[in-house]
Amino acid sequence: MSDTKISPHSLNDLKNTTDDCLANYLRSLSFVQDNSKLDIRLAVGYAAVVISAVTFAADYKLGWEATKTGTAVAVVAYAALNAVYTWWMWMVEKGMVFEGVRGGKKVSIASKTKKHDPTYYLTVTTSSSSQPIQLQCPFTTWFTQDGYFVAQPFQQWLASSVAVIGEADSKNAAKSEKDELFVSEAERNGTTSTSGADASHAKGTKRGKKKS
């Protein structure tokens, strides 16, 4: 169980905390993280900021008349970099929270949430399958009622749904055997998490019915 407490009613907090825990979990399974996409975004973003800082300094020191032409060039360059930055975030990263390699197998995970829907949606792309896998699970599965993250059910969900992660974490991959253990552990940790799990089960079935 993680020690930071979040508001279980804030979808943003739920998602951010889960994103962080997902990356931590995969790193702990000795996935080697590949940050190149984020690095490129940072490089583009900081380049834009530097351009604007230089423009500001030049304007402050030399005044408008002397810097007119330079400013025009800087404005165009800034707009272009900003467009690239936005495009990169929306079209390339697409909410990616982890990309990494383990034993020659690549995995790339993007997460998202939908407004007023406390469900975690994952798009998992692996090198072993051509089609990306779509996963979804209510946040109540791994958050207690008072906003603590519980690692076990979360890791179990991931390990049993994604083959590459399951191979790395065979303990959590065998879901059915572990289920009972999870409930008893949750009870030991306090009744709140049990009720949270119950609620999630109920929701899960409802969602399933709607779909079919």
Partner 1 sequence: MFSSLASLQPRQLAAQVLNFALVLSTAFMLWKGLSVFTNSSSPIVVVLSGSMEPAFERGDLLFLWNRGLDTQVGEIVVYNVRGKDIPIVHRVIRRFGGGAAPLQLLTKGDNNAADDTELYARGQSYLDRQKDVVGSVVGFVPFVGYVTILLSEYPWLKTAMLGFMALTVVLQRE
The answer for residues whose C-beta is within 8 angstroms of residue 98's C-beta and 6 or more apart is: 22, 23, 26, 31, 33, 107, 108, 109
Does 83 engage in binding with partner 1 (CB under 8 A)?
Answer: no
Distances (CA, A) of 167 to 130, 143, 164, 174: 18, 25, 5, 10
Binders of partner 1: how many residues, by CB under 8 A?
30
Q: In whole angstroms, give the CA distance from residue 12 to residue 111.
A: 12
Give the x/- contact pattern for partner 1 in 52-81, rule: CB under 8 A. Answer: xx-xx--x---xxx--x--xx-xx--xx--
In whole angstroms, give the CA distance from residue 69 to residue 91: 33
Min separation Cβ 114 and partner 1, Å: 15
Choice between 64 and 177, CB closer to partner 1 = 64
In the bound complex, what is the minimum distance in angstroms from residue 9's beta carbon to partner 1?
16
Least distance to partner 1 from the beta carbon of 91, Å?
17
- The residues in 14-53 that bind partner 1, with binding defined as CB under 8 A, are 16, 23, 35, 38-39, 41-42, 45-46, 48-49, 52-53
